[in-house]
C-alpha cells in the first residue's frame, strides 16, 4: 500500500503547483543561466562577433570577460570600489540598451550554512540592484534572485576559488 | 500475553495504534535495561530469531522480518545481535518456550521470538515476544495484522517495541527520511526531493530533475513536507502532499521566501521573507494564509525552529556582526542570544524533547554539528568535519541525522552523504542513498 501510494507520485509529481509559471526550465534550475555561460572566466574573451546588447557584450565590459559580475568580501554584502566601478559601466550599458531587462543573481562561497547563504546571496543581489537603480536604471528592469551556495562558478577550497564564487552576476533576460 | 493491533491494508497512515498499548510482563526485571542518557553505552547482546512460519512463504517472511529487526537494533549502537549461526533452538521449538539455560550459554541477555501466519483475508498476522533470558521472563509482546507488502513496517514496529522496552524511550525505526537527492556537476547540481524509510529502503524520488529544491522538512501532523523550490525561477516555500503528490506554493509574496519549518501543531509554517536586502522571520497560518512578521531588522534572520510547546522560536541572525543563535518568544518578544562560543552558528533545530537545540557551527575553516541547551549552557560538539551540516532529530530526540560533503575521488567534484549519529556523538553511521544526499529531515513516528 505504502508502496502503491508512492508509485502514484510519479504520476502526479508533474502536476506541480497551483500557479501558472510560464516555464520550468532555464532559470528554474539555473543551469546555463548562472553566469557560467560567460565562463572560462573570460580567458580568450570573444572579440568582434559579440552581439550588441547581449550577455557576452555585457561581460566584455570588464577585463577578462567579468564585466557582468561583481565580487564580494567574505560574509559581506557591501560593494567594493572595484564592484562599484563595474556597476558604473553596467549602468552606462543598460542606458545604451534601454530595452534590455536583467536579473541579478546573488551567490556565496561554500563556507556558511545553506539557508544563511540564501539570505546572504539575496543581500548581495539587492546591493547590486540598489546601486544600479540609484544610478537611474528603472527598478522594473532589474530583478534579483539568490542561489546562495548552490551554483558555484568554480570548484575548490582555496581563497582564490571562494573569491570567484562570492559574486553578483547581472544576467540579460 | 499479547496486545492486538491492526494495520488496515488500504491505509497505512492510519495503521497501528500506539505501542503504549503493549502489555508488559514484570517490569521488575532490572537486568535488561540500557540507560541511553549515559555517554558511552556497552551494546546489549540480543538474539533475534527467525519468526516461525508453518508454510514456506510465512517462514521466508519470518526470516525477512527478523533480519530487519536485527539490523535496526544493531544500527542503534545499543544492541549487539548475536550471530544466528550460534542459535541452539529453532523457530518451531521456540514457539513452546525458550530453553533459557541454553540461550544463556550464548551470553545473550535478550531473545526475540515470533511467528507469522496468513489470515483468511490475505493479511499477515505477526506475533512477537521479547524475553529476558537471565530472569526467564517475557518482557514484551505484540501482535500485528498487516498486508504482506508492509512487512518492513511490521519489522520496524517490532524493533521499536524492543527499543522502548529496554531503553524506556520511544523508538524511531518506523519513520521515514525526506532529503535532497543530488546528481550532476558541482557547479550545476541537480537536486530532487526524495523519501525513504529510515534505513534507506523503499526509496522514491518525489520531484523531477528540472527544478532546484532545497531544505525539506516534515509536518509533525500530516503527510506533508515544506521545502524551498526554485519553480519558475522564483525561490519560494512550497508544500508537498506525500499522499497526493500535489505541490503548492504557500503564498505569492513580493520577495523570496525560504528556510521553512512547521510549527509543532502543523498549522503554521515559519520561514524567512526577503525584505529588500534583509531577511526577516514570518509565520504563515496555513488555514487563513495570514502572515505575521516576527523579526524586523537590518539583518539576515533565518532558520527558525519552534520549541515543541510552540511558545518559543530559535533562529540564527547576523544582527550582532556574525551568524549566532537567538531565542525569542513566538511573538518576537524576549529576544536572547544563546551562542557565545568560537565561530559562527547556524541552522538551529529544537529537539522534539525540548531539552536541546542542534546546530551547525563554522570555526577555523571547519564545520561541526553540536547541541546546546536553550539557555545557552552545555554546548557540546558531536561531529567535526571539513563540511558537515544540517542536523535533524529522530522523533525521540536521541539520534540525529546530518549530511557531510567531501571531495570526490577524482578531485573534480563533491560527494554528499547522509549520516546518523547518537546524541552522545558516538555510533556514527552512513545512511544509504542511491545517489548523493543532503538536507535530511526525519519524520515523526508513522501513525
By CB atoms closer than 10 A (0-12, 13-18, 19+), residue B67 is: middle
Question: How many domains does one find in chain A?
Answer: 1
Nearest CA in chain B to A128: B277
Give the model's confidence band at B252: pLDDT under 50 very low, under 70 low, under 90 confident, else very high: confident
d(CA A152, CA B185) in angstroms, rounded, equals 10
In the beta sheet, which residues pair with residue B144? Answer: B5, B126
pLDDT digits (tens, 9 = 90+) for B146-167: 999 999 999 999 999 999 999 9
> What does the pLDDT read at residue B21?
31
- The mean per-residue pLDDT over the stretch B264-277 comes to 96
d(CA B275, CA B273) in angstroms, rounded, equals 6
pLDDT digits (tens, 9 = 90+) for A118-165: 999 999 999 999 999 999 999 999 999 999 999 999 988 888 999 999
Range of the domain at A135: 36-43+50-172
> What does the pLDDT read at residue B39?
59
Q: Which range among A2-6, A29-33, A98-102 shows the weakest confidence by mean pLDDT?
A: A29-33
Mean pLDDT over the full length of chain B = 90
β-strands A167-172, A142-148 pairing: unpaired
Is A22 among the domain residues?
Answer: no
Residues in chain B closer than 8 A to A15 (CB atoms): 245-247
Checking if the pLDDT of B104 tops 70, the result is: yes
Is A83 among the domain residues?
Answer: yes
Distance from CA of A171 to the nearest CA of B (A): 13
> What does the pLDDT read at residue B375?
97
Would you call B186 and A155 a contact, using CB atoms and an 8 Å cutoff?
yes
Using a pLDDT cut of 70, give the percent of chain B over it.
91
Residues in chain B closer than 8 A to A167 (CB atoms): none
Rounded to 10 degrees, the C-alpha dihedral A42/A154/A77/A133 comes to 40
Instruction: Report DSSP state, residue A16.
Output: B
Give the model's confidence band at A63: pLDDT under 50 very low, under 70 low, under 90 confident, else very high: confident
Domains and CATH numbers, chain B: 4-167 (3.40.50.10070), 176-442 (2.120.10.30)
- Distance spanning both ends of chain A, measured CA to CA: 46
Greater confidence (B36 vs A98) lies with: A98
Distance from CA of B414 to the nearest CA of A (A): 9
> What does the pLDDT read at residue B222?
83
Contacting residues for B44 by C-beta, under 8 A, at least 6 apart: B32, B34, B78, B79, B80, B109, B110, B166
Give the model's confidence band at A26: pLDDT under 50 very low, under 70 low, under 90 confident, else very high: very low
Checking if the pLDDT of A8 tops 60, the result is: no
Is A142 among the domain residues?
Answer: yes
Checking if the pLDDT of B436 tops 60, the result is: yes
The per-residue DSSP string of B251-301 comes to ---SS-EEEEEE-TTSSEEEEEEEETTEEEEEEEETTT--EEE---SSSBE
Instruction: Write B89-97 long-range contacts (CB < 8 A, 24+).
Output: B89/B49, B91/B49, B91/B50, B91/B51, B91/B52, B91/B53, B91/B59, B91/B62, B91/B115, B92/B52, B94/B49, B94/B52, B95/B52
pLDDT digits (tens, 9 = 90+) for B179-214: 999 999 888 999 999 999 999 999 999 999 999 999
> What does the pLDDT read at residue B40?
61
Would you call A115 and B272 a contact, using CB atoms and an 8 Å cutoff?
yes
Checking if the pLDDT of A46 tops 50, the result is: no
Residues in chain A closer than 8 A to B234 (CB atoms): 21, 145
Is A129 among the domain residues?
Answer: yes
Q: Which range among A27-31, B14-18, B53-57 shows the weakest confidence by mean pLDDT?
A: B14-18
Three cell numbers at B5?
493491533
> What does the pLDDT read at residue B215?
98
> What does the pLDDT read at residue B338?
97
- The mean per-residue pLDDT over the stretch B202-230 comes to 95
- The mean per-residue pLDDT over the stretch A20-42 comes to 37
Cβ atoms within 10 Å of A7's Cβ, excluding its own: 10
- The mean per-residue pLDDT over the stretch B243-257 comes to 93
> What does the pLDDT read at residue A157?
82
Q: Which range among A6-20, B160-174, B288-302, B386-400 shows the weakest confidence by mean pLDDT?
A: A6-20
Checking if the pLDDT of B425 tops 50, the result is: yes
Is A26 among the domain residues?
Answer: no
Is A103 among the domain residues?
Answer: yes
CATH of the domain at A84: 3.30.1330.60
Phi, psi of A81 (to 5 degrees): -55, -40
> What does the pLDDT read at residue B342?
87
Checking if the pLDDT of B6 tops 60, the result is: no
- The mean per-residue pLDDT over the stretch B236-263 comes to 95
Give the model's confidence band at B105: pLDDT under 50 very low, under 70 low, under 90 confident, else very high: very high
Mean pLDDT over the full length of chain A = 79
d(CA B65, CA B51) in angstroms, rounded, equals 7
List the 12-51 stretch of A: residues with Cβ below 8 A of B: 12-19, 21-32, 34, 36
Select from B205, B231, B387 the Cβ nearest to the Cβ of A28: B231
**pTM for the predicted model, two decimal places:** 0.87
The per-residue DSSP string of B171-236 comes to --SS-EEEEEEEES-GGG-EEEEEEEETTS-S-EE-S-TTS-EEEEEE-SSSSEEEEEE-GGG--E
Distance from CA of A23 to the nearest CA of B (A): 6
> What does the pLDDT read at residue A158?
87
Is A145 among the domain residues?
Answer: yes
> What does the pLDDT read at residue B31?
58
Is A15 among the domain residues?
Answer: no
| CB pairs < 8 Å spanning A and B | 193
**DSSP-based three-state secondary structure for A123:** helix
- The mean per-residue pLDDT over the stretch B68-79 comes to 97
Q: Which range among A83-92, B3-12, B158-167, B216-225 shows the weakest confidence by mean pLDDT?
A: B3-12
Nearest CA in chain A to B190: A29
Would you call B300 and A119 a contact, using CB atoms and an 8 Å cutoff?
yes
| Test mutation, B239, B261, B277, B404, chain A, max A CBs within 10 A | B277
Distance from CA of A54 to the nearest CA of B (A): 20
Rounded to 10 degrees, the C-alpha dihedral B79/B85/B91/B96 comes to -80
Checking if the pLDDT of B65 tops 50, the result is: yes
> What does the pLDDT read at residue A47?
53
pLDDT digits (tens, 9 = 90+) for A70-123: 999 999 999 999 999 999 999 999 999 999 999 999 999 998 999 999 999 999
Would you call A2 and B208 a contact, using CB atoms and an 8 Å cutoff?
no
Amino acid at each position: 500500500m505504502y508502496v502503491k501510494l508512492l508509485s502514484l507520485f510519479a504520476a502526479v509529481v508533474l502536476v506541480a503547483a497551483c500557479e501558472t509559471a510560464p516555464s520550468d526550465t532555464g532559470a528554474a534550475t539555473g543551469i546555463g543561466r548562472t553566469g557560467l555561460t560567460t565562463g572560462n572566466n573570460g580567458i580568450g574573451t570573444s572579440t568582434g562577433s559579440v552581439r550588441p546588447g547581449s550577455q557576452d557584450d555585457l561581460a566584455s565590459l570588464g577585463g577578462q570577460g567579468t564585466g557582468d559580475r561583481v565580487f564580494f568580501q567574505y560574509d559581506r554584502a557591501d560593494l567594493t570600489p572595484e564592484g562599484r566601478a563595474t556597476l558604473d559601466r553596467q549602468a552606462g550599458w543598460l542606458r545604451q540598451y534601454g530595452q534590455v531587462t536583467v536579473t541579478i543573481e546573488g551567490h556565496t562561497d561554500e563556507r556558511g550554512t545553506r539557508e544563511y547563504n540564501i539570505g546572504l546571496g539575496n543581500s548581495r543581489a539587492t546591493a547590486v540592484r540598489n546601486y544600479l537603480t540609484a544610478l537611474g536604471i528603472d527598478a522594473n528592469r532589474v530583478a534579483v534572485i539568490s542561489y546562495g551556495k548552490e551554483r558555484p562558478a568554480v570548484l575548490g577550497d582555496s581563497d582564490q576559488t571562494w573569491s570567484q564564487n562570492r559574486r553578483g552576476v547581472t544576467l540579460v533576460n | 500475553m499479547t496486545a492486538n493491533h491492526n494495520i488496515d491494508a488500504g491505509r497505512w497512515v492510519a495503521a497501528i495504534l500506539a505501542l503504549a498499548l503493549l502489555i508488559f510482563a514484570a517490569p521488575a526485571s532490572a537486568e535488561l535495561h540500557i540507560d541511553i542518557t549515559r555517554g558511552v553505552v556497552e551494546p546489549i547482546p540480543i538474539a533475534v530469531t527467525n519468526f516461525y512460519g508453518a508454510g514456506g512463504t510465512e517462514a521466508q517472511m519470518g526470516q525477512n522480518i527478523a533480519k530487519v529487526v536485527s539490523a535496526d537494533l544493531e544500527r542503534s549502537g545499543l544492541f549487539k545481535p548475536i550471530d544466528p549461526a550460534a542459535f541452539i533452538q529453532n523457530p518451531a521449538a521456540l514457539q513452546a518456550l525458550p530453553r533459557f539455560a541454553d540461550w544463556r550459554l550464548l551470553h545473550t541477555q535478550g531473545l526475540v521470538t515470533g511467528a507469522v501466519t496468513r489470515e483468511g483475508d490475505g493479511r499477515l498476522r505477526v506475533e512477537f515476544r521479547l524475553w529476558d533470558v537471565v530472569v526467564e521472563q517475557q518482557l514484551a509482546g505484540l501482535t500485528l495484522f498487516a498486508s504482506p507488502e508492509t512487512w518492513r513496517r511490521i519489522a520496524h514496529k517490532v524493533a521499536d517495541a524492543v527499543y522502548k522496552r529496554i531503553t524506556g524511550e520511544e523508538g524511531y525505526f518506523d519513520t521515514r527520511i525526506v532529503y535532497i537527492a543530488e546528481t550532476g556537476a558541482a557547479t550545476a547540481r541537480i537536486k530532487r526531493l526524495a523519501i525513504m524509510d529510515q534505513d534507506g529502503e523503499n526509496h522514491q524520488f518525489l520531484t523531477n530533475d528540472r527544478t532546484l529544491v532545497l531544505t525539506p522538512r516534515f509536518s509533525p501532523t500530516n503527510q506533508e513536507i515544506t521545502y524551498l523550490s526554485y519553480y519558475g525561477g522564483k525561490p519560494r516555500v512550497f508544500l508537498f502532499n506525500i499522499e497526493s503528490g500535489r505541490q503548492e506554493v504557500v503564498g505569492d509574496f513580493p520577495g523570496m521566501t525560504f528556510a521553512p519549518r512547521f510549527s509543532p501543531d502543523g498549522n503554521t509554517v515559519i520561514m524567512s521573507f526577503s525584505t529588500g536586502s534583509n531577511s526577516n522571520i514570518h509565520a504563515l497560518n496555513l488555514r487563513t494564509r495570514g502572515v505575521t512578521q516576527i523579526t524586523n531588522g537590518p539583518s539576515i534572520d533565518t532558520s527558525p525552529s519552534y520549541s515543541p510547546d510552540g511558545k518559543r522560536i530559535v533562529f540564527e541572525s547576523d544582527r550582532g556582526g556574525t551568524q549566532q543563535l537567538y531565542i525569542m518568544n513566538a511573538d518576537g518578544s524576549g529576544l536572547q542570544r544563546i551562542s557565545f562560543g568560537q565561530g559562527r552558528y547556524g541552522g538551529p533545530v529544537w529537539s522534539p524533547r525540548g531539552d536541546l537545540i542542534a546546530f551547525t557551527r563554522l570555526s577555523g575553516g571547519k564545520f561541526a554539528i553540536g547541541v546546546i541547551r536553550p539557555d545557552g549552557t552545555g554546548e557540546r560538539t558531536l561531529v567535526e568535519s571539513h563540511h558537515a551540516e544540517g542536523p535533524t532529530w529522530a522523533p525521540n530526540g536521541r539520534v540525529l541525522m546530518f549530511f557531510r560533503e567531501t571531495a570526490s575521488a577524482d578531485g573534480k567534484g563533491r560527494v554528499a552523504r547522509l549520516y546518523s549519529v547518537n546524541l552522545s556523538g558516538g555510533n556514527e553511521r552512513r545512511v544509504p542513498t542511491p545517489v548523493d544526499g543532503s538536507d535530511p529531515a526525519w519524520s515523526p513516528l508513522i501513525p
